[in-house]
Amino acid sequence: MEQLLKQIAGYKEEVTSFMASTPDAAEEFRIKWLGTKGLVKTVMSEMKNVPADQRKEFGQVLNEFKLFVEAKYESLKETGQGNAGAGVSDIDWSLPGDPTPVGSRHPLSIVRNQVVSIFSRLGFAVAEGPEIEDDWHNFGAMNLPEDHPARDMQDTFYINRDPAWLLRTHTSSVQARVMEKQKPPIRVICPGRVYRNETISARAHCFFHQVEGLYIDENVSFADLKQTLYFFVQEMFGKDVKIRFRPSYFPFTEPSAEMDISCLICGGSGCNVCKHTGWVEILGSGMVHPKVLENFNIDPEKYTGFAFGMGVERICQLKYRVNDLRLYSQNDIRFLKQFTGAV
Ligand code: DAH
How far is ligand 1, taken at its centre, from the CA of residue 178, in Å? 16
User: Is-contact 280 261, C-beta < 8 A?
Assistant: yes
With 0-12 CB in 10 A as exposed, 13-18 as middle and 19+ as buried, what is 97?
exposed
Q: What is the mean pLDDT of the chain?
A: 90
User: What integer pLDDT is reported at residue 79 of this predicted model?
Assistant: 58
pTM comes to 0.73
How far is ligand 1, taken at its centre, from the CA of residue 326, in Å? 23
Helix (H, G, I), strand (E, B) or coil at 179: helix
Q: Is 278 left (phi over 0), alpha (psi -120 to 50) or beta?
A: left
Which residues are paired to 160 by β-bridges?
165
Best probe residue, ligand 1, of 133, 172, 225, 310 (max atoms within 8 Å of C-beta):
172
Phi and psi at 47, nearest 5°, equal -45, -40
More confident residue, 305 or 104: 305
Residue type, 126: V
How far is ligand 1, taken at its centre, from the CA of residue 226, in Å? 15
**Going edge to edge, which strands form the sheet with 165-167?**
132-134, 165-167, 158-160
Best probe residue, ligand 1, of 285, 288, 315 (max atoms within 8 Å of C-beta):
285
How far is ligand 1, taken at its centre, from the CA of residue 297, in Å? 21
How far is ligand 1, taken at its centre, from the CA of residue 306, in Å? 11
Ligand 1: nearest atom to the Cα of 169:
4
Tell me, rounded to whole angstroms, the distance of Cα 98 from its chain centroid: 21
pLDDT in tens, 112-141: 999 999 999 999 999 999 999 999 999 999
pLDDT in tens, 323-338: 899 999 999 999 998 8
User: What integer pLDDT is reported at residue 341 of this predicted model?
Assistant: 63
Q: How far apart are CA 121 and CA 233, in angstroms?
A: 14
How far is ligand 1, taken at its centre, from the CA of residue 251, in Å? 9
The full 3-state SS of 55-118, as one line of letters, equals HHHHHHHHHHHHHHHHHHHHHHHHCCCCCCCCCCCCCCCCCCCCCCCCCCCCHHHHHHHHHHHH
**Residue nearest to ligand 1 atom 2, measured at CA:** 309
User: Is-contact 115 324, C-beta < 8 A?
Assistant: no
β strands within the chain, DSSP E: 125-126, 132-134, 158-160, 165-167, 186-195, 207-217, 243-250, 253-262, 279-288, 304-311
Residue type, 10: G
Q: How many CB atoms lie within 10 A of CB 143?
A: 20
Query: 120: Cβ–Cβ under 8 A, 6 or more apart, which residues?
Result: 126, 189
Best probe residue, ligand 1, of 245, 308, 312, 313 (max atoms within 8 Å of C-beta):
308
pLDDT category of residue 86 using cuts at 50, 70 and 90:
very low
pLDDT in tens, 71-81: 988 888 775 55
**Residue nearest to ligand 1 atom 12, measured at CA:** 308
User: Is-contact 170 194, C-beta < 8 A?
Assistant: yes
Q: How far apart are CA 297 and CA 100, in angstroms?
A: 56
Question: What is the CB < 6 Å shell around ligand 1?
Answer: 170, 172, 212, 250, 253, 284-286, 307-309
